[in-house]
Amino acid sequence: MVFAGACSSDPNTPNKNTDLIDAKVDSLMSLMTLEEKIGQMNQYSGFMDFTGPRPKEGQQAKKLEHLKKGWVGSMLNVHGVENVMAVQKIAVEESRLGIPLIMGFDVIHGYKTISPIPLAETASWNLEAIQKSAEMAAEEASAAGIHWTFAPMVDISRDARWGRVMEGAGEDPYLGSLVAKARVKGFQGDDLSAPNTLAATAKHFAGYGFAESGKDYNTVDIGTSTLHNMVNPPFKAAVEADVKTFMNAFNVLNGIPATGNKYLQRDLLKNQWDFKGFVVSDWDSVGEMIAHGFAKDGRAAAKYAVSAGSDMDMESYHYIEQLASLVEDGEVSEDLINDAVKRILKVKFELGLFDNPYQYCDEKREKEVIGQQKFHDQVFDLAKQSIVLLKNENNLLPLKKSGQKIALIGELAADKTSPLGNWIIAAEDNSAVSVLEGLEKYDATNEITFENGVKLVTSQPTFAQELKINNTDSAGIAEAVASAKNADVVVMVLGEHGRQSGEGRSRTSLDLPGLQQQMLEAVYEVNPNIVLVLNNGRPLTINWADKHIPAIVEAWQLGSQAGNAIASVLYGDYNPSGKLPMSFPKNVGQIPLYYNYKSTGRPAPKGENEVFWSTYIDSSNDPLYPFGYGLSYTNFDYKNLTIDNRYKEEGKVLVSVEVQNTGKREGIETAQLYLQDEYASVTRPVRELKGFKQVELAPGEIKTIEFELTNAELGFYDNDGEWLVESGSFHIYLGGDSTSQLKQSFQITVK
Ligand code: NOJ
């Protein structure tokens, strides 16, 4: 039976009318039994893919029965119109009230047409393009019947060992907050009920990116200053952008699992930030509170989670198995259940699911929308902007378009799956343009020879399987060396396979995996004229390459159009403009490494031969490449940094700087403003990003760029989570990365 009582088919009744929706939710809830309400709080993974550990024996079989009883509010991992339709039909036509399911899916960087991995997209620093990329993902995924994406992941991370840095926006909370907003807006659009938008999820609340030693799912123990100033800002920004859902996290935060954390979910998120949407748990994170040593059994886990504000249970089965008896025994108040169900139903109404539970299920649209050329054009555009030029000695790049013998080397150069990166559950393997294809198809007449070189992976695993790296078989190096000998230029595509980063893919070494370093050095011996194109989902430690290789291009995992984008940068038709969203360490011993650190009492530089300083005896403190860094085929110069301090009269400080293109070709520069609050009641970082602007400049052209600083930029969170702006002096640094030395200072007096 289709539930009719709560329908609004009036096209002029936008599903944004909160009062109306609240009334509809209340009227529907008055018809629901306790079990049906709890059913709305229950989410199962579908019958296709698993994006977490497989459920225990027998649980899978219950799903169908529960769907028919109306004991399931949401499914994940069901995609494609036919599949979604089949499951939705059971909920709508066979359950007593016919409440539609909300279908969730990890649409992380595209559905079938794949954008660069989120870390790479962030390297573009182009918020408009990032928003458009989320819009495209929403359009494709919604055409496949999906209503809700578990993205954006807004976890800040300072640890490149953590495999999930590929999924986020890097190490900085200011940039991370703007990217979070752009992605939420892109997914959700202006009207959630439109069939081409998705509800978004800000995840994983909170602290997940600070897993100790970069090991996924590990304990997180951070101070309040870091929590409020580094971890939480992108989540708050997502709320400001009206994100509809939050996902909590697997980790324990300062002794309390995030899933059972009342302070995070109820006090901060729902009360202080006034978040009106719902919180979904992560995969079995309710049940995992038992292994954490927090809940003694499933009953306690369900009680803690719901009390703390986790509204929907993903795949732990504890809500559906325990909540009714917890309510009946008076251990959980029905008010908590009602609050959770209201939040969930509200989002379903906003999505328009009660108007038409099948509105996302249109096979014709599915065929027409998915994989359109315009999406590929858009992805190509963003992929170019995501590339970061790390080194370019003697202008080895751009490559000449004719008369060159190019030796292209490396298994990754021909791989058509790896460039898609991780979290591509719906995309087809072998669907990306490889570097080999990109170069061969390019409008250039060079002679290209390709050598696979040493084997990188010994298996092509699926999303859920571990990838095996070849660490022993050096066959292929000799052929690579031979082909390099005869070449004018060698292009080596090395790095991580796309499935070597992502969830559950933490690493203790950030060196080039397998025998790639050995091959790089062997090739260098015979021909040092090498362009190293890196494919990777996180910062790598590439000291040797930085010292020896003349040109290094950070090309991440750029998605469906990877090879075309890389070719366009190598040949110089696109002048690289990307900037790093994470510091690249010199060695893993420096991790956690981040530009916005706090000064110690004994900051570097130390005096010669002195030891009592905050440094290492075997490494410098500096990163190999700093946050915000990236070169261009032209050069930019910054001058005339001026400050117009109107804080006393108007509550703002105006900053302007001149940027000049001093090179020979046009280019795009991202000017970055960093602020240091010199003395504060809670110590502040040595510098923090507080503004950036992109400018396009012709050769010789100068543009003046302006920034405005108000209390929103000048303050910080104290240890109670209160925003404070304090009197005192501030320093501004302006330039093309986080090490710029162009500096001005000003004072403010706060009354
Ligand atoms: C676990 C991951 O942590 C989360 O990000 C993802 O959305 C869920 N699995 C569902 O696939």
Cβ–ligand 1 contact at 733 (below 6 Å): no
Among candidate residues 436, 417, 388, 689, the one with its CA nearest the CA of residue 563? 436
Question: 210 in ligand 1 pocket by Cβ < 6 Å?
Answer: no
Q: Which of 245, 283, 313 to mutate to test the pocket of ligand 1 (most atoms within 8 A of CB)?
A: 283
Q: Which residues contact 129 (CB under 8 A, 6 or more apart)?
A: 121, 381, 382, 385
**pLDDT for the residue numbered 11:** 40
* 129 vs 183: CA distance, rounded Å: 10
The confidence score (pLDDT) of residue 274 equals 98
**Residue 308, phi then psi, degrees to nearest 5:** -75, -15
Mutate to test the pocket of ligand 1, among 148, 150, 187, 506 (most ligand atoms within 8 A of CB): 150
SS3 (DSSP) at 735: strand
* Atom number in ligand 1 closest to CA 52: 9
Ligand 1 centroid from CA 501, angstroms: 14
Which residue's CA is minimally distant from atom 10 of ligand 1? Answer: 51
Termini Cα distance of the chain: 64
Determine if ligand 1 sits within 6 Å of the CB of residue 503: yes
Does residue 52 have its Cβ closer than 6 Å to ligand 1? yes
Please indicate whether residue 121, judged by its CB atom, sits closer than 6 Å to ligand 1. Answer: no
**Is 283 close to ligand 1, i.e. is its CB under 6 Å away?**
yes
Query: Cα(107)–Cα(360) distance, rounded to whole angstroms?
Result: 15
Whether the CB-CB separation of 538 and 163 falls below 8 Å is answered with yes
- DSSP letter string over 160-192? TTSGGGGGS--S-HHHHHHHHHHHHHHHH-S-T
Residue of minimum CA distance from atom 4 in ligand 1 = 282
CA dist., res. 529 & res. 330, Å (int): 74
Give distance in angstroms: CA of 282 to centre of ligand 1: 6
Contacts with 483 (C-beta within 8 Å, 6 or more apart), sequence order:
407, 409, 449, 451
CA 596 – ligand 1 centroid, Å: 29
Regions of the chain short of the pLDDT cut 70? 1-16, 47-49
Q: What pLDDT is stored for residue 607 in this prediction?
A: 75
* Ligand 1 contacts CB of residue 627 (under 6 A): no
To which residue do tokens 């005192």 refer? 728
pTM of the model: 0.97
Closest to 746 in 3D by CA, of 640, 639, 647 = 647
Residue 282, ligand 1, Cβ within 6 A: yes
Give distance in angstroms: CA of 247 to centre of ligand 1: 9
Q: Work out which ligand 1 atom sits closest to the CA atom of 167.
A: 5
Catalytic (active-site) positions:
282
Report the distance separating Cα 704 and Cα 698, nearest Å. 14
Q: Which ligand 1 atom is at minimum distance from the Cα of 77?
A: 11
Go through the domains of the chain in sequence order and give each one's CATH number: 1-99+333-371 (no CATH), 378-590 (3.40.50.1700), 636-748 (2.60.40.10)
- pLDDT given at position 8: 38
Residue 636: closest CA among 585, 703, 685, 569: 703
Query: How far apart are alpha carbons 190 and 346 in whole angstroms?
Result: 17
* Distance from residue 184's CA to the centre of ligand 1 (Å): 17
> Got the DSSP string for 701-718?
-EEEEEEEE-HHHH-EE-
Q: Where are the beta strands (DSSP E) in 598-698?
A: 636-646, 652-661, 667-677, 688-697
Contact 525, 396 (CB under 8 A): no
pLDDT of residue 47: 66
288 lines ligand 1 (CB under 6 A): no
Q: Is the CB of 203 under 6 A from ligand 1?
A: yes
* Ligand 1 centroid distance, CA of 51 (Å): 6
Ligand 1 center to 654 CA (angstroms): 43
Instruction: Write out pLDDT tens, residues 244-270.
Output: 999 999 999 999 999 999 999 999 999
Query: For residue 702, what are its two tokens?
Result: 């100068």
How far apart are the CA of 76 and the centre of ligand 1, in A? 10
150 CB near ligand 1 (under 6 Å): yes
